[in-house]
Amino acid sequence: MTVLDRRELLSMPFALWLAEAATEGEQVIPFADTKPFNPERPTLPWEQTTAWITPTEHLFRVGHYGYPDVNPAQWRLEITGLVNRPLTLSLDELKRRKVREQTVTIECSGNAPAGGLIGNARWKGTPLAPLLKEAGVQPEAVEAVFFAADASTEKIRGGEYQQNFARSLAVREAMKDGVLVCWELNGAPLDKNHGAPCRLVVPGWYGVAWVKWLTRIELHDRAYLSRFMGRDYVTIRGEKQGEKTIWRETSVGRMNLKSVVGRVTRRADGSLRVMGAAWSDGTPIRTVELKIDNGPWTPVEIAKENRNPFCWVFWTYEWKGAASGEHTLTSRATDARGRVQPAPDDPFITLKKTYWEANQQAVRKIKV
């Protein structure tokens, strides 16, 4: 039996709202940095985005050690380590558990300020927490480590070691209600590019935590530090304290507050419609504002039909009297905690020395 998240039902009218916003006859005004869509390396084509649910063919894909072929009939999920009752489950056994379908936004931690490594999709699977409780997580376990089928040889301190891709979550994070072992994307079984037969879904976290081709979950009593926890996917950021700069290395984790101007169209009466999206780690979006050229920040209209904290929200702004020529459009989001999306010259951005977690305001250029 499939259980639809209550927030799914609340979001359904939004598709009608967006369809009305994208009426026929409106002319798309391209951004200066628009690149042609490449189906071999898909990224979200913002200027074509008129649906709240991202088509699977527009969802980005990442394979750290390639894209393994995993036979669903032979696939098993192991839950082992510091547990009282180790489990080994087939795909059919998982599907006989409680099934949940939920819509969640996924963003790659390497996404650029206005990049297309993001999408909003429907994910179906079974909640992870009941599986961990059935296995009996021992009190000393502090992390759940998720191992994938993709593997390669890593050179570590002079030696060579076969390593599977793996990421970890604190047990308290793994136990959260929305975390799924997922086998279906947008109403169809996962394909190889998106982690078939099963992957993890971790709402509010960057995509690297959504381990694809999932095969094993281990419970550990100490931090797991593989290449993709302790060396790659580590953000180096400085903080000024007087005349000193304090440098910190932190593992990529929860998504940062972010928004982007996604699409500009010209209507029949000559006015322009600016559309965009905003998202976060699950903290509700309070406001989105738009700045045109060097003008003031102006509030935009956020769709009221969808307020799922783990999904992006779409917004619109009616721009009348736009002068001919080149213009810049910049959006910024503020969340319910009062956090404001940083400007490109904010020290939070300028003192970040790695490309992961880039959530600065994106300046989009168009010619009207």
Cα 332 to Cα 147, 204, 254, 261: the distances in Å are: 37, 19, 19, 9
Task: Examine the pLDDT at 26 and tell me if it is beyond 70.
Answer: yes
Average pLDDT over residues 156-167: 94
Cα 340 to Cα 137, 280, 334: the distances in Å are: 38, 11, 4
Which one-letter DSSP state was computed for residue 11?
H
Distance of alpha carbon 177 from alpha carbon 261, whole angstroms: 32
SS (H, E, C) 269-336: CCCEEEEEEEECCCCCEEEEEEEECCCCCEECEECCCCCCCCCCEEEEEEECCCCCCEEEEEEEEEEC
Check residue 24 and give its pLDDT: 63
CB contact at 8 A, 185 and 121: yes
Average pLDDT over the chain reads 93
What is the CA angle 237-241-242, rounded to 5?
140
Residue 123 DSSP SS3: strand
182-193 tens-digit pLDDT: 999 999 999 999
Number of neighbours of residue 8 by Cβ within 10 angstroms: 17
214-262 tens-digit pLDDT: 999 999 999 999 999 999 999 999 999 999 999 999 999 999 999 999 9
Q: Which residue has the tokens 């898909």?
A: 42
What lies within 8 Å, CB to CB, of 250 at 6+ separation is 234, 235, 237
Q: Which residue has the tokens 């910049």?
A: 330
Task: Examine the pLDDT at 13 and tell me if it is beyond 50.
Answer: no
Check residue 8 and give its pLDDT: 47
Task: Kindly list the structural domains of the chain, giving each domain's residue range(s) and its CATH number in brackets, ordered by start.
Answer: 2-24+49-234 (3.90.420.10)
Task: Tell me the pTM.
Answer: 0.92
309-323 tens-digit pLDDT: 999 999 999 999 999
82-115 tens-digit pLDDT: 999 999 999 999 999 999 999 999 999 999 999 9
How many residues belong to the chain?
Answer: 368
Task: Examine the pLDDT at 1 and tell me if it is beyond 60.
Answer: no
